[in-house]
Structure 1
Amino acid sequence: MIEAVKLWNEPNNMSHWDFGIDKDWSVFSRMVRLAGEAVRAENPKLTRVLGGISPIDPAFIRRMSDQGALDEVDVVAVHGFPLDWNHWQIHEWPERIAEIRAASRHPVWVTEVGVSTFGAEEVQEFGLRRTAELLLGKVDRIHWYSLYDLPKAWPATTRHREAEGSSYYRHFYMGLLKEDGTPKRALRHFADYTPEMGICQWFHFEDHRLDDAVKWLKKLGVKKLRTGLSWADSHRPNYEAWFDRQMSALEDFDLTLTYCFTPGSCGMVDHHTSPPRNVEEFADFCARMTRRYAK
């Protein structure tokens, strides 16, 4: 069921890791080493993936190598959104992959790539087709982000929210399905690229979309799914019941399972992006989740 575990998400993005506190990522690097060791001790067959970087930055990967963070991972991952947020064009995807390959001895996965329908559904339709042309067969894993639009009543996981202007609102239009489950234009093409192309779909705590998402993923022929288990959620009451339900519902997919988000009580500051005071606690969470679900 679980083929890979991913250690954190977008560590070079302030929306996911506060490098104002951890200025040189030394805390992050030590945390990844310990977590990677813990996962390997529980299940040495699992592929361990460094949290996908956004922006794509070979200098960051070289820093991770120099600080030993890559010693306990098997793959590095990148996230790219050239039609929405990145300062490069979609046809440059091969160059971006080549830059990361030159910076690391590890295989490169694309664990988030997507296009919003903020401007028009036709833009996403074009972006899906062009992404498939540029990446399928060139990297071992591609996860399209995402199946569903983010519900407008939920906040996007980004640092500055509405202060980002239109960039913020694009977060709510990344799905192949609208919030209410209505298909968008690009959905009709997605099955042309499965099972080679997977999907990244985050599920919030007790997410009401879980069962419908499973039905759609199977209908689309998706086999490879990336999702997450939140360390922060593990401090909620009855979290194990939700984690068990989520993992049971997803048991038919080849999962890349992301471990991330700091509980407020464990951070240097009370925020999910904060470096933890004790990185061993994150490693322990990774070990417990791996032991429970990666059998």
Structure 2
Amino acid sequence: MIEAAMIWNEPNNKSHWDPEIDPDWSQFARMAILAADAIAIQNPALIKVLGGISPIDTGFMNRMKAYGVLDHVDAVAVHGFPLDWNLWQIHQWPEKIAEIRSVTDLPIWVSEVGVSTFGAEEVQLWGLRRTAELLKGKVERCQWYSLYDLPSAWEATTRHREAEGSSYYRHFYMGLLREDGTAKPALAEFARHTPELGLVQWFHFEDHRLDDAVAWMKRLGVTSLRTGLSWADRFRPNALDWFDRQMQALEDFDVTVTFCFTPEHRGVASHHTSPPLVPEEFAEFCAEMISRYAPRSGVRDRRLNVSASTV
């Protein structure tokens, strides 16, 4: 059920990894190496991806290279939202990819790129079309974020919430579908670019949208999906029942599963962005999930084509 395993999400973003506890990212690097090696033991054919970085930063990538992390993964990933959060313009995408190619020979995935409809739905339509022009066929994987708007009654997974001002509320308008399931103008444009463009959809614990999401993705021609399995959720009652249901529902897609989110009681600090008290425990979680959903005998070997087009 899993084609690739991504180790954490946006590790250089303070909304997902606490730089006050781990200012030089040495704890993250050790955890990432342990996780990558644990995944490889369970299934050496599985693609291992360093969690998508945001911002796109050669300094952070060089730091991971110096720590040896890049020797334990098969690809690196970047995230970009130039019309919403980043301090650069959308036409700079080729430059951003070239910067990362200058420091590593590993395949580069754009594992999250998107445009919110916070200001206007027409902006998302234009942004999707322009993103496809700039990235499709230029990187080894490109995945659009996301299928659904975040329900207004939920919280975005960021530590700083309303302190981010309007930036926080953009999290709720990233979908091609509105909260009520109706289509935005960009949905039809997205379908023009599948299967070359993949999709990102995070599913919350016991997410009521799962079955409808599967139906929509098949209708849109999506074959590549990135989602997540939360280490924190593993400690909920009936966690494996939910994980089983989620992964079974997604079995027809090429799934990249992101492992992240520290359980409050297993972190140096009691929040999901904290380094774990015992990094081996995160590696054990990754190994458990690979053993359950991508055992050695069950995976299709889809090693990346490193000779893909470059920017």
With the length of structure 1 as denominator, give the TM-score of the two structures: 0.99
Which residue pairs with 2:10 in the alignment?
Answer: 10
Query: In 2, are the aligned partners of 1:111 and 1:143 still within 8 Å (CA)?
Result: yes
Partners of 1:250 and 1:186 lie apart in 2 by 23
CA drift at 1:61: 0.1
2:52 corresponds in structure 1 to 52
Amino acid at match of 1:220: L
Please give the alpha-carbon distance, in whole angstroms, between the structure 2 residues aligned to 1:2 and 1:293. Answer: 6
Q: Gapped runs of 5+ residues in structure 2?
A: 296-311
C-alpha deviation, 1:286, in angstroms: 0.4
What TM-score do the two structures reach when normalised by structure 2? Answer: 0.94
Determine the structure 2 residue equivalent to 1:78: 78
AA in 1 matched with 2:282: F
Which of structure 1's runs of 4+ aligned residues deviate more than 6 A? none
Q: Which has the higher contact order (CA 8 A, sep 6+)?
A: 2
Distance in 1 of aligned mates of 2:140 and 2:255 = 14
Deviates more, 1:152-161 or 1:134-143: 152-161
One-letter amino acid of the structure 1 residue matched with residue 136 of structure 2? L
Structure 1 residue runs of 5 or longer lacking an equivalent are: none
Residue 156 (structure 1) aligns with:
156
Q: Take 1:97 and 1:32, find their aligned partners in 2: how far apart are those partners?
A: 23
String of CA shifts for 1:107-133, please: whole Å, max 9, x gaps. 110000000000000000000000000
Q: Which amino acid aligns with 1:175?
A: G
Mapped contact 1:59–1:103 kept (Cα < 8 A) = no
Does 2:250 correspond to 1:223?
A: no
Partner of 1:268: 268
1:25 is aligned to: 25
What CA distance in whole angstroms lies between the structure 1 residues aligned with 2:184 and 2:225? 20
The answer to whether residue 10 in structure 2 is matched with residue 39 in structure 1 is no
Q: Distance in 2 between matches of 1:134 and 1:106?
A: 20
Report the equivalent of 2:302. Answer: none
Tell me the equivalent position of 1:237. Answer: 237
Provide the secondary structure at the position in 1 that maps to 2:110.
strand
Say if 2:272 is the partner of 1:248.
Answer: no
Match of 1:195, SS? Answer: coil
Distance, in Å, in 1 between the alignment partners of 2:235 and 2:18 is: 20
- 1:80 alignment partner AA: G
Deviation at 1:206, TM superposition (A): 0.2
Quote how far apart the aligned CAs of 1:105 are.
2.1
Aligned partners of 2:284, 2:2: CA distance in 1, in Å?
A: 18
How far apart, in 2, do the equivalents of 1:283 and 1:246 lie? 21
Q: In the TM superposition, what whole-angstrom CA distance separates every residue of 1:126-171 from its partner, at most 9, and x where no partner exists? A: 0000000000010111110000000111111122111111111100
Aligned twin of 1:129 = 129
161-170 or 77-86: which moved more?
161-170
Look up the equivalent residue of 1:254 and give its one-letter code: D
